[in-house]
Amino acid sequence: MDSENKKSVAIIGAGIIGVNCAAELQSLGFNVTLLDKAAIGEGCSKGNAGHFASEQVFPLAEVSLLWQLPKLLLDPLGPVALSPRYLPKVLPWFIKFIGNMLKSKRNKNGAALKTLNKHAINYYLPVLKAANAEHLLTQKGSLLVFEQTSFKAVEKQFRHYSEAGIAVKLLNREQVLLLEPNLSDKINYGLYFTSVAHTADPHAICKSIAQYAQTIGAKYQKFVVNKIEHSANKVNLVGDRQTLTFDQIVIATGAWSEPLLKQLNYKLPIEAERGYSLNLEQANQPELTRPVASADRRFIMTPMAQGLRLSGTVEFAGLEQKANMQRADMLYQHAKEMLVDIAPFDTNTAKDEQRWLGFRPSLPDSLPVIGQAPNHLNIFFALGHQHLGLTQGAITGKLIGQIMTKQKTAIDISPFCISRFN
Ligand SMILES: Cc1cc2nc3c(=O)[nH]c(=O)nc-3n(C[C@H](O)[C@H](O)[C@H](O)COP(=O)(O)OP(=O)(O)OC[C@H]3O[C@@H](n4cnc5c(N)ncnc54)[C@H](O)[C@@H]3O)c2cc1C
């Protein structure tokens, strides 16, 4: 172990990104302290759809959204919502998002996403093995199904994925129902992504990896970082009642990252893309055996340990506005249309914990920020993983480890540098 690796490192944020960084850095010999204002995995990593969605290599900014958006926004319970009073705040982000629709940018961002996703699932295997949590990853692929979309449009999507090197099969109704017999026969076609995976419990993955990091020596402390004070050799983290000092820090604070980076003079156009989940209680028979996303209804159903989880929707309303749990409840109506048998759900008698709101940390180019702060050599960033933080957690941890030990990184990290916004 060289002296580099004996340094004390604080990781701010114990979501799926932070815990992966903690496990990797501690196993490399750093003295890791994982800090979070809440318990482990209680942020966006808790109630997500559990889909290791390595097939999602296309940036979200695409031109066709521009003419779909007005219709999507007009439907109060549609898949996209914008709080009118939040519009002035989110406008600069939208402008940057639209800028990323340019073909040249889309191609460049798509290529970077592809390198990050390519081995994302493989990077999880050793971490989960070390954490005795291999059972939390199921490799049965996933389905994207179509009810209304024409065959021509489905075939076009199929070609799009195939040309991007994604393992995918185009299925007709019978083939879809053979894989998932509980799906309704309203479904006409499906894309079957054969190499992707899912977990029956994303929160348990987070906690298992954090637990493993602690078993090998990392510490966890509940701590709100209000201020970062930086000098050439040390970083002070100022909390409510205490200041902690470390040799290096990793900022993995997801959707809450902007104020911390602002203190360090880095611009970060991050937006919380709010998404909802609805957890159904266990049915007599599991409704599905793998994640099934609906292309037309824009949501996903994942079989979880406790029952079926319905997840999706994007809401622009910032970090402070109250949750609108009707957006979670509406997912049930969609799922009911798509499944033959489904566990009952009554909005009046549902328990609070069945509904969940999460804040996806999204940058307008659909790429995360991973790397060393250009003007603060003892500060590192691992944030902004948008809809794909679960998927990209292990590879992000691995890259942070390689960067901090000055090794050659497994992939080119230049597209993920903060300097693209500064
Ligand atoms: C409905 C929904 C479905 C999703 N489905 C999927 C999916 O199927 N697959 C997938 O790959 N991704 C999915 N995602 C996205 C994924 O959940 C996120 O990308 C991921 O959880 C982000 O992880 P993170 O560690 O960056 O952030 P978080 O999990 O939010 O962690 C950040 C942590 O930082 C802490 N923190 C913030 N500020 C401070 C501070 N100042 N001091 C101390 N602590 C601080 C917070 O408390 C939090 O715990 C989904 C998201 C949503 C909303």
Q: Collapsing DSSP states into helix, strand and coil, what is residue 372? A: strand
Kindly report the protein residue whose alpha carbon is nearest to atom 12 of ligand 1: 388
Distance CA 387, CA 24 (A): 22
pLDDT exceeds 70 at position 3: no
Q: What is the mean pLDDT of residues 143-170?
A: 97
Q: Are the C-beta atoms of 252 and 383 separated by less than 8 Å?
A: yes
Query: Cα of 8 to ligand 1 centre, how many Å?
Result: 24
Which pLDDT belongs to residue 1?
46
Which pLDDT belongs to residue 305?
95
Phi then psi for residue 165, to 5 deg, are 85, 15
Nearest ligand 1 atom, CA 384 = 26
Ligand 1 pocket member 218 (CB < 6 A): no
In this structure, what DSSP letter does residue 138 have?
B
pLDDT in tens, 332-369: 999 999 999 999 999 999 999 999 999 999 999 999 99
Superfamily assignment of 3-46+203-269+366-421 in CATH? FAD/NAD(P)-binding domain (3.50.50.60)
Strand spans (E) along 102-257? 142-146, 168-172, 189-193, 197-198, 219-222, 227-230, 235-238, 243-246, 248-251
- Residue to substitute in 24, 250, 253 for testing ligand 1 pocket (most ligand atoms within 8 angstroms of CB): 253
Q: What is the mean pLDDT of residues 254-270?
A: 98
Q: Where are the domains of the chain?
A: 3-46+203-269+366-421, 55-101+139-197+271-362
Q: What is the mean pLDDT of residues 283-299?
A: 94
Beta strand pairing call for 142-146 and 292-294: parallel
Which pLDDT belongs to residue 253?
98
Which pLDDT belongs to residue 5?
54
Distance CA 200, CA 135 (A): 9
Which pLDDT belongs to residue 77?
74
Distance CA 414, CA 20 (A): 21
Collect all residues with Cβ–Cβ distance below 8 Å to 223 and sequence separation of at least 6: 35, 36, 37, 237, 239, 242, 244
* CATH code of the region 55-101+139-197+271-362: 3.30.9.10
pLDDT exceeds 50 at position 114: yes
pLDDT exceeds 80 at position 128: yes
- Residue 402 sits at the vertex; the CA angle it makes with 397 and 407, to the nearest 5 degrees, is 170
Ligand 1 pocket member 275 (CB < 6 A): yes
pLDDT exceeds 70 at position 196: yes
Which pLDDT belongs to residue 6?
85
Kindly report the protein residue whose alpha carbon is nearest to atom 48 of ligand 1: 43
Ligand 1 pocket member 311 (CB < 6 A): yes
Q: Give the sheet arrangement for strand 8-12, strand by strand.
A: 219-222, 31-36, 8-12, 248-251, 376-383, 369-373
Q: What is the mean pLDDT of residues 262-279?
A: 98
First to last CA, the chain: 35
Q: What is the mean pLDDT of residues 159-188?
A: 97
Res. 84 pLDDT band, cuts 50 70 90 = confident
Query: Cα of 14 to ligand 1 centre, how many Å?
Result: 9
Ligand 1 pocket member 17 (CB < 6 A): yes
Kindly report the protein residue whose alpha carbon is nearest to atom 41 of ligand 1: 225
Ligand 1 pocket member 44 (CB < 6 A): yes
Distance CA 124, CA 134 (A): 9
Q: What is the mean pLDDT of residues 148-163?
A: 97
Distance CA 49, CA 312 (A): 8
pLDDT exceeds 90 at position 408: yes
pLDDT exceeds 70 at position 283: yes
Which pLDDT belongs to residue 285?
84
Res. 384 pLDDT band, cuts 50 70 90 = very high
- Residue to substitute in 33, 37, 44 for testing ligand 1 pocket (most ligand atoms within 8 angstroms of CB): 44
Distance CA 254, CA 231 (A): 24
Kindly report the protein residue whose alpha carbon is nearest to atom 37 of ligand 1: 253
Kindly report the protein residue whose alpha carbon is nearest to atom 20 of ligand 1: 389
Structure tokens at 99: 């800028």
pLDDT exceeds 90 at position 232: no
Nearest ligand 1 atom, CA 359 = 53
As a whole-number percent, the residues of the chain with pLDDT over 70 amount to 99
Q: What is the mean pLDDT of residues 128-141?
A: 98
Kindly report the protein residue whose alpha carbon is nearest to atom 3 of ligand 1: 48
- Mean pLDDT, the chain, rounded, equals 96
Phi then psi for residue 360, to 5 deg, are -75, 130
Which pLDDT belongs to residue 337?
96
pLDDT in tens, 18-59: 999 999 999 999 999 999 999 999 999 999 999 999 999 999
